[in-house]
Amino acid sequence: MPTFLNVAHSLTGRRWVGPSVEMDRQAEALAQQTALPRPLCQILARRGVDVVGAESFLAPQLRDLLPDPRSLKDMERAATRLLSAVAASERIAIFADYDVDGGSSAALLLDWLGQMGRTATLYVPDRIDEGYGPNDEAMAALAKEHDLIVCVDCGTLSHGPVAAAKDADVIILDHHLGAETLPEALAVVNPNRQDETGDLAHLCAAAVVFLALVEAGRQLREAGKAGPDLMAMLDLVALATVADVAPLIGVNRAFVRQGLRIMARRNRPGLVALADVARLDTAPAAYHLGYLLGPRVNAGGRIGKADLGARLLASTNPAEARAMAERLDQLNTERREIEAAVQAAALDQAETRGLDAPLVWASGEGWHPGVVGIVASRLKEAANRPAIVIGFDGEIGKGSGRSISGVDLGACIQRLAAEGLLIKGGGHKMAAGLTVARDQLQAAMDRLSDLLARQGADRAGAADLALDGLMMPGAATPELITQVDAAGPFGASAPAPRYAFADMRITFAKRVGERHLKLRFGDGTGPQLDAISFGAFDGPLGPALEAHGGARFHLAGRLEINRWQGRESAQLRLEDAAQPG
């Protein structure tokens, strides 16, 4: 594919790639036939939306996109058992993962049960002491005190722990990759079971839980009874979908759009408190879920009390929610400090090994298990390779991995576990977790590297910067950005549109704090546009643009609306730059 604006090596080392000639033609045809702005039509064309489907795409209705819950195996049985437990006032326990998806899934169930007049015991394992997923001791103890255990965002690979819960029925509502055999649970509802079609493989666990509640609602209606308002719970589904980096396609996109509207009403005390401590003073967008709210919910499971995030999301008491949110905010600050130290050591180690291998990995003594996944993401971004980061405590290491598009890391990790190179491991295509013995570390990483190389992981170059087209500063208005946002929300598998501004002159440049850069630029004849580049001084971008010396640059990034003191203006979130060649 030819380069865009002839940029083969930008200031951040990337090649710029623009829309194909065919894509441009499709966008032009859409613009002529729909009278929609051409930048919006460029996004529609990239998503494969035609004239007939444009209206429904821009205003997706959940009722049109929601799959039949019964299309998932064991779903009807799971919902029936949940309702029977409610009707008989049985003792219910919820065993949840410690991340945002697990916390949101648990909060969904706790909210629904509360509205049905029932309570449940929440159990979230400690990341360090117990690790991911159900364990024999915890499940056996819960089974002695409860009639039904619902495992959310975990359990699909937990054959032993499910067997240990012999005194209770177990339902699993999960989305992680399943093995050839399933645990002996009453129901295993998982779109990533090996005997599923895969049509709903993009759902996060909270979405699976939501579908279970939809099925429960249908069974209630068939019995002539009313159930809770499920639409009001979509704020939790939206948070989990974005934070778990689930693809924003199909029903996921509708979940997030509707969930953001629900969240903007500020009816859930936990999310209100979380937004307030994060100083979110605008209507929430997908970005805020992924970068402001999600990390704070995660902080409890990473370095604090494991169930804090789930309890916050399920809280109905504003004062209690505020206290928990403040604690999570404090933990998130501590998490960032721990992460920075591990990241520096891991990157140094990975660079020594070489960032061009099929697998980029690092391990260290005492690296906190709560930050290894985030650091793996940073290594993946730095090298555009699958990355694994492992923290050792004695002879046992716990690690997390992140993958790149087109490379299935979860399946490879699962294979290593089956081959005995890992103590345990699992996940999905883009993310995975593992436990490994120190004396097996090198063999496991060598084998994983080989498996990833077979998928082409070693052939990925520097990540291209995909651009949707050219724009002039004067065309970037709040009105246009609002129209373009109708194609959102943007996120995983639905990237926000990026535009290039060609041959621009920088008229103002100022460092903000230690790492960021503010700019103003124009072509010298028309309006100018403000820009902000976060983390610009972490690499060559900031120094080069700050010391521009009057030189002209191609600038690229995403447009956003900057709201300040009641006024709105367009702003470029600057991601890259190159000097005209």
Tokens of 502: 């060609």
Q: Which residue type occupies 277?
A: V
> What is the pLDDT averaged over residues 31-43?
95
Assign domain 1-15+467-581 to a CATH class.
mainly beta
Give domain 354-459's CATH architecture.
Roll (3.10)
Q: How far is CA 268 from CA 63, 340, 392, 514, 563, in A?
A: 23, 32, 39, 36, 25
Give me the chain's average pLDDT, please.
95
Instruction: Determine the pLDDT at residue 556.
Output: 98
Task: Determine how many CB atoms are found less than 10 A away from the CB of residue 113.
Answer: 20
Distance CA 413, CA 177 (A): 11
In this model, does residue 310 exceed pLDDT 70?
yes
The CATH number of 65-329, from 3.90.1640.30, 3.30.200.20, 3.40.50.300, 3.40.50.1220, is 3.90.1640.30
More confident call, 224 vs 463 = 224
In three-state secondary structure terms, 152 is strand
> What is the pLDDT averaged over residues 189-210?
97
Q: How confident is the model at residue 281 (pLDDT cuts 50, 70, 90)?
A: confident
In this model, does residue 460 exceed pLDDT 80?
no
Instruction: Determine the pLDDT at residue 507.
Output: 97
What is the three-state SS of 506-534? EEEEEEECCCEEEEEEECCCCCCEEEEEC
In this model, does residue 70 exceed pLDDT 90?
yes
In this model, does residue 131 exceed pLDDT 90?
no
Question: Which stretch of DSSP H or E encloses residue 347?
Answer: helix 318-353
Tokens of 294: 């999600």
| Residue 342 buriedness (CB in 10 A; 0-12 / 13-18 / 19+) | buried
- H-helix segments, 124-233: 136-145, 159-164, 205-222
> What is the pLDDT averaged over residues 31-38?
95
> Can you give the residue ranges of every domain in the chain?
1-15+467-581, 19-57, 65-329, 354-459
In this model, does residue 203 exceed pLDDT 80?
yes
> What is the pLDDT averaged over residues 113-142?
95
Instruction: Determine the pLDDT at residue 461.
Output: 65
Q: How confident is the model at residue 195 (pLDDT cuts 50, 70, 90)?
A: very high
The pTM (predicted TM-score) of the whole model is 0.91
> What is the pLDDT averaged over residues 162-175?
97
Instruction: Determine the pLDDT at residue 1.
Output: 65
Tokens of 429: 């295509």
Q: How confident is the model at residue 304 (pLDDT cuts 50, 70, 90)?
A: confident
Instruction: Determine the pLDDT at residue 47.
Output: 93
Q: Percent of the chain having pLDDT more than 90? A: 91
In this model, does residue 214 exceed pLDDT 70?
yes
In this model, does residue 129 exceed pLDDT 90?
no
Say if CB 364 and CB 349 are below 8 A apart: yes
Q: How far is CA 460 from CA 1, 18, 19, 405, in A?
A: 15, 18, 20, 10
